[in-house]
Structures are given as structure tokens and as C-alpha cells.
């Protein structure tokens, strides 16, 4: 995308795509060098904006007709020509030309071939600066809608599995050390909450970009009597942007998208890491089917969780794209600079990477098979019910918690020295440390009892997990709004 030198003057009625100075009119007498054409061209990636560019051009032309700036006959020719171009692009017959630099000039040149002089009037009262800002906002708006739908699908898979495994005991970890028993359903619901915050960020980012730059022209607005409110409404925006300089130079909406995507990718990576660990024989908590595992070229026994590993890796690319765009923007004076041409590739790449990662992680959540015996055995290890013992000392014997913590630590040390679990330590041995302990203590030392006792709101007790899953289903999986699939 290249700056337009004159935001208010209409281009010649009959642009000649073959002329070397076709974009710049009489100011330039020679064409660019081959190297300049290569570094300047963006059609290799911004062709993805074709749908948005056509939609914005149709809205702009309709507004010009409404305002009496274009004749109805010209407006009809432009609309019909743009529809034909859309059909050619959809059919794969449209010829994209690098010499025409970007999607905007490719479409305009083809429009001139189809309808003649009327095509040259389309660019009245706009610049490629506000044109690309509008196209890109439209595209990012659709990308945010698609991201929300994909995150919702992930939540649905997690909630389904959480409901199915509300009672399945597994170890809860801190520092990757056994901490307290939890249920598999409770663990999965943690990711539902993460995805919920991701979707909140998606909605907030969408609300912030809901302004239309079209009509800001190159940077100063236009002398034509345009109706920016009408154009904004025609394109589904809440309002036009308020400042013409900011309109063409702002890329906060792209940063919002990349920041939201980076946090979401981080959440995917955390679950991917757990799937890598859980599917390893050392853990053995879950099995992935052949659909999401690969083998080794030399070791026939191997089942590698490559899909999870690749999801884990992609967060680097997503976060890198955010850093890349921040770096592009950090030193730009107002208003437009050609540096902004490099805003789209990282956003497009992140969209593709994140969509694939969400599909993969959602597929693995639905595909995995838990191994209850392995989870139960691991949950019982590491003296994971020690906190339950300390709580029992507080609740039954009235000990201050810090004293109960110290007593429990001594009992754990004794059990460890004896090579037994807490539930298998003789009552007499515990009474040597605290004489008031009675047989009632054994009611809290099994992992099942531990899990069942965690009945506080948000806790891991199976009844709480089932209630939380139902609440999450109602909160997160309500009616899905229509997804903007333009482009």
C-alpha cells in the first residue's frame, strides 16, 4: 500500500495500467527500477484483502452517488464491475500483477478494463491511505470473530470432557511437584476460564476497532461533501474515526489483535505442554490416538505427541509477530509512512497459525483417553493429603494452623522414613507425635476423601466440578453471534 499524493483530486478517467507512471500522474516521468518494484509491491500478501477492498469500494461509491458526487449511472457501473471482479477472484481467474503494487490498484486497473472511464471516478474523495486502513480494519474484525468462534469450540470440548470426568482423581501440582489431589474435570475447567478471558479480550479489541477510517483521505480529510457516517454504517462500523491523521496512521487495532492472540497462544501452549507430559510413559495419564501422534524413523516403539509439541512451539511465532509490529510502529511520525505496509504479514501469519493451533488443541482434547489408574496412583503419591491432615488437626483438635502445619510435617517425615503413605501409617505412630489424634483422622487421608472435601466455590469436589461445568456451559456457550467471513 502506497500513500496517495492528492487526497481530493479524482484520478484520470482512464488509468493506463501499462504506463510506467500510472500511479503518480504527471509528477513522475519515469518508472521505478526492478528492485524498487520488488520492495514496493505488496500484492503477494495483501491480496487477502480483496473481499474487504471490494466491499469498502462499493460502500464508498454508493455514498458518492447519494451525495451527488457521482452519477447514478457511474455508481451502477462501478458496483457491477466490482461484483464481476469479486466473481473472478472467487473463481481463481483474476490475474494479480506485481507491477500494480497492491490489491487496491490491481482491482482498480481491472475495473478500468471492464467499465472504462467510470472506474477512474471511484477514487474521488479517498486515498489509498484511508482505503487500506479501512480494508485492514474490516479484515481484522473478521479475524477476531473467527478467533472468538474457535475459542468457543475449544471451550465446548473442555467443558464436555470436564463433565465426563468430574470424579476422575488426578494429582494437582505446584512447581511440578505433587501438591493436592484434584479431579481431571476441575483441571480442564481451568482452561475454560483462560479461554473465557481470551474471548473477553477479543470482544474488547473488536469494540475498540469499531470505527471507520474511510473518508479521512490521505491525512487531512477531503473537500468533497461526503457522508462518513453513512459509509461507516454501510460497512457495519459503529461510527467514523474522529481524527483524519489518526485514521490513516493508527494500527492499534492490529496490535490489539496480536496481543490478544499472543495471550491465547500462551494458554494453548500451557495445555500442549501438559499433554506432552501426561502422554509420556513417566506420567502415563492420557493416551493420544494415531490421529495426533507420530512415530520415529528409527525407534519403532515411539509415539510422539508432535501435534502438542508444534502447538507449544507456535507461541514463539505469534509473540514474535507482536514484537515485530510494535517495532515497526514505535518510531513512526504522523501520519502515514510506507513502513505500515509491513503491518499485514505478521497479522495474517498469526491468524493462520492460531486457527491451526486451536483446531489441533481442540482435536486433542476430544481425542485423548485418560488412564484413571495412573492418575489415581500419582494423586496418592508425594503425601498429597498432608494438607487434609493439617486441616483435620485444626478442625477437630482446635490447633492453630501453623502448629498443625508443623505437626503434619513431622508425621509426613515419619511416614517417609517408614516407607508408607499417610493413610498406611499406624495410629500409634501418629499419636507419638500428637497424642490427641484418633481414628477419625483416617477419614480424610484418602485421595477420594480429600477431593470430596474441597466443596468451596471454585473447588475440586466432584459436585462443585459438575456445577461449575454447567455454569461455564451457560456462561460461555450461549448463542454464537454470526462470524464475519469476508475475505
Instruction: Give the burial class of 17: count Cβ atoms within 10 A of its Cβ; 0-12 exposed, 13-18 middle, 19 or more buried.
Output: middle
What one-character-per-residue DSSP string does 151-220 give? HHHHHHHHHHHHHHTTT-EEEEEETTEEEEEEEHHHHHHHHHHHHHHHHHHHHHHHHHT-EE-TT-TTTT
* Rounded distance between C-alpha atoms, residue 69 and residue 83, angstroms: 21
* Short-list 153, 197, 141, 65, CA closest to 360: 153
Q: Known catalytic residue: 405? A: no
Strands 286-287 and 177-183: unpaired
Cα angle 188-149-87, degrees, rounded to a multiple of 5: 155
Of the candidates 93, 175, 297, 456, the residue annotated as catalytic is 175
Choose the catalytic residue: 296, 384, 405, 476: 296
User: What whole-number distance in Å separates Cα of residue 177 and Cα of residue 64?
Assistant: 67
Judge whether 175 counts as a catalytic residue: yes
8 Å CB contact between 222 and 7: yes
Q: Which of 268, 208, 263 is nearest to 238 (CA)?
A: 208
Cis peptide before 429 (omega within 30 of 0): no
Using N-to-C axis directions, what is the helix angle for 128-164 and 103-115, rounded to 10°?
A: 120
Phi, psi of 173 (to 5 degrees): -120, 150
Separation of alpha carbons 46 and 1, rounded Å: 8
* Helices marked H in 9-93: 34-40, 43-46, 50-66, 72-91
Separation CA 445–CA 453 (nearest Å) = 11
Residue 90: exposure state from Cβ atoms within 10 A (0-12, 13-18, ≥19): exposed
List, by residue number, the catalytic residues.
Answer: 175, 296
Amino acid at each position: 500500500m502506497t500513500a496517495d499524493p492528492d487526497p481530493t483530486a479524482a484520478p484520470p478517467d482512464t488509468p493506463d495500467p501499462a504506463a510506467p507512471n500510472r500511479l503518480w500522474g504527471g509528477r513522475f516521468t519515469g518508472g521505478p527500477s526492478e528492485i524498487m518494484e520488488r520492495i514496493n509491491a505488496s500484492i503477494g500478501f495483501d491480496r487477502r484483502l480483496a473481499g474487504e477492498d471490494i466491499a469498502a469500494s462499493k460502500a464508498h461509491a454508493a455514498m458518492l452517488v447519494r451525495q451527488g458526487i457521482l452519477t447514478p449511472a457511474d455508481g451502477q457501473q462501478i458496483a457491477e464491475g466490482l461484483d464481476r471482479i469479486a466473481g473472478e477472484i472467487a473463481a481463481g481467474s483474476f490475474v494479480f500483477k506485481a507491477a500494480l503494487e497492491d490489491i487496491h490498484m490491481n482491482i482498480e486497473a481491472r475495473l478500468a478494463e471492464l467499465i472504462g472511464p467510470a472506474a477512474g471516478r471511484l477514487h474521488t474523495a479517498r486515498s489509498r491511505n484511508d482505503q487500506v486502513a479501512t480494508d485492514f480494519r474490516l479484515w481484522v474484525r473478521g479475524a477476531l470473530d473467527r478467533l472468538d468462534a474457535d475459542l468457543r469450540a475449544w471451550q465446548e470440548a473442555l467443558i464436555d470432557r470436564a463433565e465426563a470426568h468430574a470424579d476422575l482423581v488426578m494429582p494437582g501440582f505446584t512447581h511440578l511437584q505433587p501438591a493436592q489431589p484434584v479431579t481431571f474435570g476441575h483441571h480442564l475447567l481451568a482452561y475454560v476460564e483462560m479461554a473465557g478471558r481470551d474471548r473477553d479480550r477479543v470482544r474488547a479489541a473488536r469494540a475498540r476497532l469499531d470505527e471507520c477510517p474511510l473518508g479521512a483521505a490521505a491525512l487531512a480529510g477531503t473537500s468533497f461533501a461526503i457522508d462518513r457516517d453513512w459509509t461507516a454504517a454501510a460497512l457495519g462500523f459503529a461510527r467514523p474515526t474522529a481524527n483524519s491523521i489518526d485514521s490513516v496512521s493508527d494500527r492499534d487495532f492490529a496490535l490489539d489483535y496480536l496481543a490478544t492472540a499472543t495471550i491465547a497462544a500462551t494458554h494453548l501452549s500451557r495445555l500442549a505442554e501438559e499433554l506432552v507430559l501426561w502422554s509420556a510413559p513417566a506420567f502415563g495419564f492420557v493416551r493420544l490416538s494415531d490421529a495426533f501422534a507420530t512415530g520415529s524413523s528409527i525407534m519403532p516403539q515411539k509415539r510422539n505427541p508432535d501435534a502438542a509439541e508444534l502447538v507449544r512451539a507456535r507461541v514463539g511465532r505469534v509473540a514474535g509477530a507482536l514484537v515485530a509490529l510494535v517495532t515497526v510502529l514505535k518510531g513512526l511520525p504522523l501520519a502515514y509512512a510506507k513502513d505500515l505496509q509491513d503491518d499485514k504479514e505478521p497479522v495474517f501469519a498469526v491468524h493462520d497459525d492460531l486457527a491451526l493451533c486451536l483446531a489441533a488443541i481442540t482435536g486433542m482434547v476430544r481425542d485423548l483417553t485418560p488412564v484413571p489408574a495412573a492418575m489415581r496412583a500419582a494423586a496418592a503419591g508425594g503425601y498429597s493429603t498432608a494438607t487434609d491432615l493439617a486441616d483435620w488437626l485444626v478442625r477437630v483438635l482446635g490447633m492453630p494452623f501453623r502448629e498443625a502445619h508443623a505437626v503434619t510435617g513431622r508425621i509426613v517425615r515419619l511416614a517417609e522414613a517408614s516407607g508408607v503413605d499417610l493413610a498406611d501409617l499406624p495410629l500409634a505412630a501418629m499419636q507419638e507425635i500428637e497424642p490427641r489424634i484418633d481414628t477419625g483422622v483416617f477419614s480424610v487421608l484418602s485421595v477420594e476423601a480429600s477431593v470430596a472435601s474441597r466443596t468451596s466455590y471454585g473447588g475440586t469436589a466432584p459436585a462443585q466440578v459438575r456445577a461449575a461445568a454447567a455454569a461455564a456451559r451457560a456462561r460461555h456457550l450461549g448463542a454464537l453471534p454470526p462470524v464475519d467471513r469476508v475475505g
